[in-house]
Structure 1
């Protein structure tokens, strides 16, 4: 399987970067081809331009500003996202990745009857999120309703592909996580990805 692994964290020494390294190693050891897209290292601009927004319903939609990333997404069989949750949401650079790359003609097409969108990322069979949050489990799930999972599974995954393998592995209470707890999470990531 060819996996596009997207890392969204500005610090090379971050735990997210350690998760991404672990994921790349586990996938490669399992025989998968991994294309690492480090959004910060590749200086991805998350801002949707005026031209991109004003042409949102043009056919074909102009993706020239992100064409190289679109090509990488279109040849992938799976997508793995590695990111921290900040304010119970995606980092801005990852949200911009969705805004600019998951565009009409790439991730979906507009239904000519209006209202609905038609999934176009039929090549993507797997969408996993490897994430951390500074909040404890109960706050994310019981108080906030796990918004990132809902957005990924009900929104992005379902609107862009059908019947894909969706999974989210999260380390909660990251700000107070001990080295042992962090290593246990890396081991969990390695084991889960080795089984793909």
Structure 2
């Protein structure tokens, strides 16, 4: 099953257009997919004291956390669609990782003497689609490429995700309608494993 984790509050955003193009792609290929729409589902990314006390037991007070973790455990492919805000993922998506990724055998990860061992090895392929005001080359070479260095190479790999690719539509604010349409057309045909 393919799991799409979508993180944008505005339905007229380019991220939403990406979501539509990817859904069209998967439907045309008769691929089974589920969508987690963090904003539409009113996910609360903030820990309460009570919720945080349950963390090391792998428990939660939030039914969405339970639902989302189960979906992550069932997926063999995960697709993230998110803006790239202030050199990182939005707080909503960071809160998703903080709250949903529960410590414990059979959950998302276990802690060993040498560090974190990912339990989500069922995720064989992961695609991260971002949009940014900055051009992609500027993110890579002048801003430190935090999305690749931290979110992809550290966080997602620590959770057990493999074969992760990052696609950024940079310079979104000054992009032409032609460039946007061309990119979306490419997404409707991109092969997803």
TM-score (ref. length: structure 2)? 0.91
The residue number in structure 1 matching 2:175 is 177
Alignment of 1:94-133 (within 5 A): 94-105=93-104, 106-111=107-112, 114-133=113-132
| Unaligned stretches of 5+ residues in structure 1 | none
CA–CA separation in structure 2 for the residues paired with 1:152 and 1:32: 26
Alignment of 1:134-149 (within 5 A): 134-149=133-148
Secondary structure, in 3 states, of the residue corresponding to 1:32? coil
Secondary structure, in 3 states, of the residue corresponding to 1:131? strand
Out of 47-56 and 17-26, give the one that drifted further: 47-56
CA contact (8 A) 1:169 1:189 kept: no
CA contact (8 A) 2:83 2:89 kept: yes
RMSD: 1.6
CA–CA separation in structure 1 for the residues paired with 2:120 and 2:136: 31
Alignment of 1:1-196 (within 5 A): 2-58=1-57, 61-65=58-62, 66-105=65-104, 106-111=107-112, 114-161=113-160, 164-192=162-190, 194=191, 196=193
Count of residues paired in the alignment = 189
CA contact (8 A) 2:54 2:60 kept: no
| Unaligned stretches of 5+ residues in structure 2 | none
Deviation at 1:188, TM superposition (A): 2.5
CA offsets, 1:64-114, max 9 Å, x none? 421111122211111100011010111111111111112213221111xx3
Shift >3 Å, 4+ stretches: none
CA contact (8 A) 2:56 2:102 kept: no
TM-score (ref. length: structure 1)? 0.89
Secondary structure, in 3 states, of the residue corresponding to 1:144? coil
Deviation at 1:29, TM superposition (A): 1.7
